[in-house]
A and B are shown apart, each in its own frame.
Chain A
Amino acid sequence: MEILGIPTQALFGQLLIGLINGSFYALLSLGLAVIFGLLNIINFTHGAQYMLGAFAAYFLLSKLGVGYWWSLLIAPIVVGAVGIAIERLMLARLYKLDHLYGLLLTFGLALIIQGTFRHEFGSAGLPYSMPAELAGGRNLGFMFLPNYRAWVIVASLIICLGTWYVIERTKLGAYLRAATENPQIVQSFGVNVPRMITLTYGFGVALAALAGVMAAPIYQVSPQMGSDLIIVVFAVVVIGGMGSILGSIVTGFGLGVIEGLTKVFYPEASNTVIFIIMAIVLLIKPAGLFGTQK
């Protein structure tokens, strides 16, 4: 059976691939949505922090012999700590000013980090091998699904839904959301708002680094890996709605699928289809699909 000239079997395979890519977009845009939606910081360093996560996993393996599973835990903590340092030392000074200064700072940081790594390690990148437990795959009939990619979808869903739950359904999340709406009142209740903001930024950065560790076995660990992805992730966050956590998760997966379908029917446009959608969404609903006008 064929749909529009492509056999259904092949189409299902492509849809699954699209979902897998979507899970990367969702994971990355989740961190960005947390930082932007809750803290109003436009974090252009997100892509570089994703790259730092992948490099941290590489160094943990090559210099300390620490394997993939431990890296999933250690790398986000390390990079998250770096993120906290950035926030304390640099970003905190810019809160009183226009958002654009935060954008400039994070963009500049991204360029510095990427340039330094490229100078040291070159652009071809470094090899990171697949953890043995996840190597190989199974034949689903319509396609061969590598075990690792199945793991990526599952892990990404768990992390995304877990984060959404914490922010939207728990007391901690309620404090955070209240603090960003009206920091003075929340502070007067005795909640340490600056520390909460710092830890939240660190958490968003740690999410980016986690995505980086998960990407290391399948994409090349190269200094450019973040810059290629960050523009798409920003588009995902904009389409999903700048303040909405659920929006960025749903949009991430959805756009992954759409991009996957484009690769089947008209692959030359697969780079641009997300931006076309972003343009259309912004024209029709400027606040994004799940966003609310503030």
Chain B
Amino acid sequence: MKRNLISILVAAACAWCGGAQAQISDGVVKIGVLSDMSSLYADIGGPGSVVAAKMAVEDFGAEKKGMKVEIVSADHQNKPDVGSNIARQWYDTDKVDAIVDVPTSSVALAVSQVTRDKNKVFLVSGAASSDLTGKACSPNTIHWTYDTWMLANGTGSAIVKTGGDTWFFITADYAFGHALERDTEAVVLKNGGKVLGKVRAPLNTQDFSSFLLQAQSSKAKIIGLANAGGDTINSIKQASEFGITKGGQNLAGLLVFISDIHGLGLDKAQGLIFTETFYWDLNDQTRAWSKKFAAANGGKYPSMVQAGVYSAVLDYLKAIEATKTDDSAKVIAWMKANPTDDPLFGKGSIRSDGRKIHPAYLVEVKKPSESKGPYDYYKIRATIPADQAFRPLADGGCNMGK
């Protein structure tokens, strides 16, 4: 009799608890921030991405709305096998619903496949390869922030149009470097330029002197750096040592972040021109958010990747609130059907191939005399409107039927 009473009470308690969030799996929205926490991309994404994700949850007001949101994080060490193992474990055992960030395109491509197999959600902010919405596109992946096509067409065409018509590429020898080199070469050739040579350097190379020497002897007007993070910093620093610019050649940083400029110092980085989709000093909203972010991130201002993590998590949570479920297909369908408007990237939208569209900015690094303080590094040269910044849908070769 007593046992029956207890069972009834327990059953009633369970039924009562379950009601409010019957449609969200396990009652918790679990988001995994998978990034490079310890190596050359750690300042671009890394722990800062976790801070950004947590800020998004807070600003969304999850607690007040009665939604339970949990953020977990892990280090993929820039290795696709480590990244896909973490993703699998997260999806299978730890009940993670969405993975966010993932710099390093080779890892992102692997995680995109795992996410598709498990039918979850992948919001890429850190990785660059335009293949993520091209030949490797997936109905479960949304590519936020930027990609190699945008970089090539923003930076590449701006440089070719101002006379930089012969190029030599120093490329990071993995998926991202190859994609960036390919997309930029296409832009150079389309605008009537020539590519005089390319050299592939392993990821995380310390010494670029040999590659810079080869670039020098090619006599190309522009040395395109198809690499990122620590590789770009070392290339630029050593280029000045070898008198590259004094010899009449110019460097094109194809992917540069504000953390790189901070690490290089303005006297080495001044005059660099590149494309980004977020800068902390764009308007009052970005300024306010960035100051809050810096306070929570040890004084380091946000990169566009970290801003992208915030924006993606915010939109994802809005989608869950609107559809009242965390079922991947419904959430992604809502995200693609509804335009986005957040304080960091302004007005944008998400295309059917998973590409997030928003404006891009061509920036130039200030001279030391023009900067008023740390992180005051960019002059905005031009704004590329959202509909021109990214590769047209038809050109991507995305075939989701597979």
Contacts and interface: CB of A to CB of B under 8 A. Distances in A.
A10 B229 contact: no
B230 A125 contact: yes
Most-contacted residue by chain B among A125, A130, A146 (CB, 10 A): A125
A124 B256 CA distance: 12
Interface stretch (B133-141, B236-244, B348-356, B374-382): B236-244
A123 interface: yes
Interface string B281-298: 000000000000000000
Interface in A15-54: 17-18, 20-21
Interface in B243-265: 243, 247, 259-260, 262-265
Interface string B17-51: 00000000000000000000011111100100000
A144 B242 contact: yes
A219 interface: yes
Interface stretch (B148-156, B194-202, B305-313, B384-392): B194-202
Contacts of B217: 7, 9-10, 13
Contact-residue size bin, chain B (C-beta under 8 Å from the other chain): 35 or more
A220 B237 contact: yes
A124 B241 contact: no
Contacts of B243: 136-137, 144, 146
Contacts of A14: 210, 213-214
Contact-residue size bin, chain A (C-beta under 8 Å from the other chain): 35 or more
A123 B202 contact: no
Contacts of A264: 210, 214
A13 B213 contact: yes
B268 A127 contact: yes
Interface stretch (A194-202, A205-213, A221-229, A238-246): A221-229
Given A118-B38, A144-B247, A146-B243, A127 B210 contact: no
A48 B202 CA distance: 22
Interface in B100-126: none
Interface of A: 7, 9-10, 13-14, 17-18, 20-21, 115, 118, 122-127, 129-130, 136-137, 143-144, 146, 148-149, 218-220, 222, 224-225, 228-229, 260, 263-264, 267-268, 270-271
27 contacts: A10-B213, A21-B207, A21-B209, A123-B38, A123-B40, A123-B230, A124-B43, A125-B230, A127-B265, A136-B243, A137-B243, A143-B213, A144-B247, A218-B237, A218-B241, A219-B206, A220-B234, A224-B39, A224-B40, A228-B204, A228-B206, A260-B210, A263-B210, A264-B210, A264-B214, A267-B202, A271-B202
Interface of B: 38-43, 46, 173, 199-202, 204-207, 209-211, 213-214, 216-217, 229-230, 233-234, 237-238, 241-243, 247, 259-260, 262-265, 267-268, 300
